[in-house]
Amino acid sequence: MDRSKTYLVVGLGLLGGKYAQVLSGKGYRVLGIDCDPAAVQYALDRDYIAAGAAADFAPLLRQADRVIFALYPTALLRWVEQYGDLLRPGTLVTDVSGVKRGVVGPVQAALPAGVEFIASHPMAGRETSGIAHSAEVDFAPANFLITPTARNTQAAVDWCRALAQTLGFARISVLSPAEHDRMIGYVSQLCHAIAVCLMCASDNTELARYTGDSFRDLTRIARINDKMWAELFLWNKDNLIGEIDMFETALRALREKLAAGDREGLEEMFRLSTARRQAFDKKQQDAAPQP
Amino acid sequence: MDRSKTYLVVGLGLLGGKYAQVLSGKGYRVLGIDCDPAAVQYALDRDYIAAGAAADFAPLLRQADRVIFALYPTALLRWVEQYGDLLRPGTLVTDVSGVKRGVVGPVQAALPAGVEFIASHPMAGRETSGIAHSAEVDFAPANFLITPTARNTQAAVDWCRALAQTLGFARISVLSPAEHDRMIGYVSQLCHAIAVCLMCASDNTELARYTGDSFRDLTRIARINDKMWAELFLWNKDNLIGEIDMFETALRALREKLAAGDREGLEEMFRLSTARRQAFDKKQQDAAPQP
């Protein structure tokens, strides 16, 4: 990746902070913007960024050749509308958003001519948030997804892939915004919805002493950033509602077999779930990058 | 625990094999019974048992002072009806069943006078089964639950506790069969039902390459022993159906908020789930045995 370019990270939270840390650590010139002065100072103190600002962004924007938006989707759209015109022609821009259909088109349309937005999603979120937790993020085992549209050039896709490699992602995929959102609705959002509902269903905190690995695993992600996940769910609600409905149909089937004392029917569901889970493990091993 | 007594393990599977391995390793005299001659041979070859039988159980039963039934609930009930009369007065008996109400009363009623059944549940199951996986079982971090009834003596409860300590369990609790089954319906069975339904909901194996920690954690227990779990679910179906219904109510609430675009309502659920999950972590730390 071109070391003569200046990188600007907009949003110094968990992921923006990590991007800045890794890129600076590898010798790239990185600038940073955040509306919270403490986040900017944190990044400056640790040399995650060479310069930063919590207001009056124009001077930094004029220096940027490559921009990474590490904002929630709604904030990203607002930011681009407000400051997008300050970006120079020739600038390449990407993001970190966990939903794509509602973001990619509007951002591409809002940016000035000559500024290209190539969307991407580093699937490396955690239960924690904020730049103070950035150092804990591990990109190596995570997926990096690039979601180009017809308006993107191959050069921008190639840059985005090089960025992911520089950041340390070993698993990089290219798919459409629609494919991305459908996939994320099942693989991530449905899982978070289930974990949240398991905790919300009843107040069973007096049972904490009896919980084992199963319960802990299923509810780990019930500790959730409320603002961000409400956004992610709402931007993808058609897909997520579809997944919830399919899941609920399966749950009702299991409940009916249980109520009817249908042992064979239950065993059949258990064999199907076991076979599919084994296939997942197998496919995941096949897809893993070779050392 | 009294080293002059002879221990008999009935059912040399994952847990029965582990009980035999640990007790023999600590110098106790252990005998073993299994209808599969290969399991008996496996246990003999590794000195898990001093003697064993896959048929003609009477000679071993006549030697036993302490008996551990490591059978599925239905098999346990059948076994006690068929062979229970061969046990000598003074014998103490326990089990490993994951459900209690349907087992404890009938087994206590079926055993001859002077033979006392004190039920217990080592919560140390795994996705694997069979004695060949026994060595992988780790009792130290698991819960051991003793579920006495009015028919049990304090001496039997004390023996069962000593057995658990000898086996290496650090977390031992005493609760009623009804409390046990209600707790297990939420903490374990509902989680397994959800994991199974997540895999059964749709065939998304082509998404395996994109799955991250969330999905893997939620579906790990979807690899499930079909025969055993059908039994456990059916023996506790009233509790499990109640838990499924409460969970489904929460899921419907989330779906409605999503469909209505109710951002504040979603954030409220996320905050509740986060607070409850944090309380679980806290309570679990408080309940953990001190090193």
Nearest residue of B to residue A128, measured between CA atoms: B274
CA distances for B8 relative to A277, B67, B165, B280, angstroms: 36, 5, 18, 38
Non-local CB neighbours of B173 within 8 Å, separated by 6+ positions? A209, A210, B143, B144, B145, B146
Q: Which domains does chain A have, with CATH numbers?
A: 6-175 (3.40.50.720), 180-260 (1.10.3660.10)
Q: pLDDT tier at A291 (50, 70, 90 boundaries)? A: very low
**What does the pLDDT look like over B253-277, one tens digit per residue?**
999 999 999 999 999 999 999 999 9
CA distances for B199 relative to A248, B194, B244, angstroms: 12, 9, 17
So what's the pLDDT on residue A118? 98
Nearest residue of B to residue A280, measured between CA atoms: B208
Nearest residue of B to residue A174, measured between CA atoms: B210
Question: Which among A214, A221, A261 has the least Cβ separation from residue B221?
Answer: A214
Nearest residue of B to residue A274, measured between CA atoms: B223
Contact between chains at B258 and A196 (C-beta distance less than 8 A):
no
Q: Are A209 and B187 in contact (CB under 8 A)?
A: no
**How many angstroms separate the CA atoms of B270 and A228, rounded?**
10
Count the neighbouring beta carbons within 10 Å of the beta carbon of residue A102.
18
Size of the A and B interface in Cβ pairs below 8 Å? 288
Q: Are A21 and A42 in contact (CB under 8 A)?
A: no
**What does the pLDDT look like over A131-172, one tens digit per residue?**
999 999 999 999 999 999 999 999 999 999 999 999 999 999
Which class for B146: exposed (0-12), middle (13-18), buried (19 or more C-beta within 10 A)?
buried
Question: Which among B196, B233, B234 has the least Cβ separation from residue A273?
Answer: B196
So what's the pLDDT on residue A214? 85
The residue written with tokens 């993001």 in the block is A95
Question: Which among B143, B208, B250 has the least Cβ separation from residue A287?
Answer: B208
Tokens of B244: 């499924």
Contact between chains at A266 and B230 (C-beta distance less than 8 A):
yes
* Helix (H/G/I), strand (E/B), else coil: B149: coil
Q: Contacts of residue A229 in chain B, CB cutoff 8 Å?
A: 266, 270
Q: How far is A257 from chain B (nearest CA, A)?
A: 9
Q: How far is B234 from chain A (nearest CA, A)?
A: 6
Asked whether the predicted pLDDT for residue B291 surpasses 70, the reply is no
Q: How far is B13 from chain A (nearest CA, A)?
A: 20
* Of residues A173, A167, A83, the one with CA closest to residue A120: A173
Non-local CB neighbours of A69 within 8 Å, separated by 6+ positions? A10, A11, A76, A79, A80, A93, A94, A95, A96, A97
**How many angstroms separate the CA atoms of A160 and A172, rounded?**
10
**What does the pLDDT look like over B23-70, one tens digit per residue?**
999 999 999 999 999 999 999 999 999 999 999 999 999 999 999 999
**How many angstroms separate the CA atoms of B46 and A17, rounded?**
54
A70-74, A126-130, B6-10: the lowest-pLDDT one: A126-130
Q: How do B116-117 and A6-10 pair as beta strands?
A: unpaired
Q: pLDDT tier at B101 (50, 70, 90 boundaries)? A: very high
Question: Which among B205, B237, B252 has the least Cβ separation from residue A276?
Answer: B205
Q: Contacts of residue B183 in chain A, CB cutoff 8 Å?
A: 207, 210
So what's the pLDDT on residue A288? 61
Contact between chains at A212 and B142 (C-beta distance less than 8 A):
yes
**How many angstroms separate the CA atoms of A9 and A52, rounded?**
9
Contact between chains at A198 and B210 (C-beta distance less than 8 A):
no
Q: How far is A78 from chain B (nearest CA, A)?
A: 18
CA distances for A172 relative to A78, B68, B214, angstroms: 28, 52, 19
Question: The sheet that has B143-146: what strands, in order across it?
Answer: B120-122, B143-146, B171-174
Average pLDDT over all residues of chain A: 94
Question: Which among A187, A258, A274 has the least Cβ separation from residue B223?
Answer: A274
Own/partner contacts of B110-115, CB < 8 Å, gap of 24 or more, are B110/B77, B110/B80, B110/B81, B110/B84, B111/B80, B111/B84, B111/B87, B112/B84, B112/B85, B112/B87, B113/B89, B114/B88, B114/B89, B114/B90, B115/B84, B115/B87, B115/B88, B115/B89, B115/B90, B115/B91
Non-local CB neighbours of B237 within 8 Å, separated by 6+ positions? A258, A259, A261
Question: Which among B196, B210, B237 has the least Cβ separation from residue A270?
Answer: B196
Nearest residue of B to residue A231, measured between CA atoms: B263
Tokens of B279: 């309380």
Q: Contacts of residue A279 in chain B, CB cutoff 8 Å?
A: 205, 208
Contact between chains at A142 and B212 (C-beta distance less than 8 A):
yes
Question: Which among A193, A204, A246 has the least Cβ separation from residue B202?
Answer: A246
Tokens of B4: 């002059």
More confident residue, A247 or A285: A247
Chosen for mutation from B270, B284, B285 (greatest number of chain A CBs closer than 10 Å) is B270
Q: Contacts of residue B201 in chain A, CB cutoff 8 Å?
A: 243, 246-247, 249-250
Q: Are B213 and A217 in contact (CB under 8 A)?
A: no
**How many angstroms separate the CA atoms of B207 and A276, rounded?**
12
**What does the pLDDT look like over A208-240, one tens digit per residue?**
888 888 888 889 999 999 999 999 999 999 999
Q: pLDDT tier at B212 (50, 70, 90 boundaries)? A: confident
Asked whether the predicted pLDDT for residue B287 surpasses 80, the reply is no
- b or e along B64-98 (b: 16 or more beta carbons within 10 Å of the residue's beta carbon)? bbbbbbbbbbbbbbebbeeebebbeeebbbbbbbb
Model pTM above 0.95: no
Q: Contacts of residue B237 in chain A, CB cutoff 8 Å?
A: 258-259, 261
Question: Which among B210, B218, B254 has the least Cβ separation from residue A183?
Answer: B210
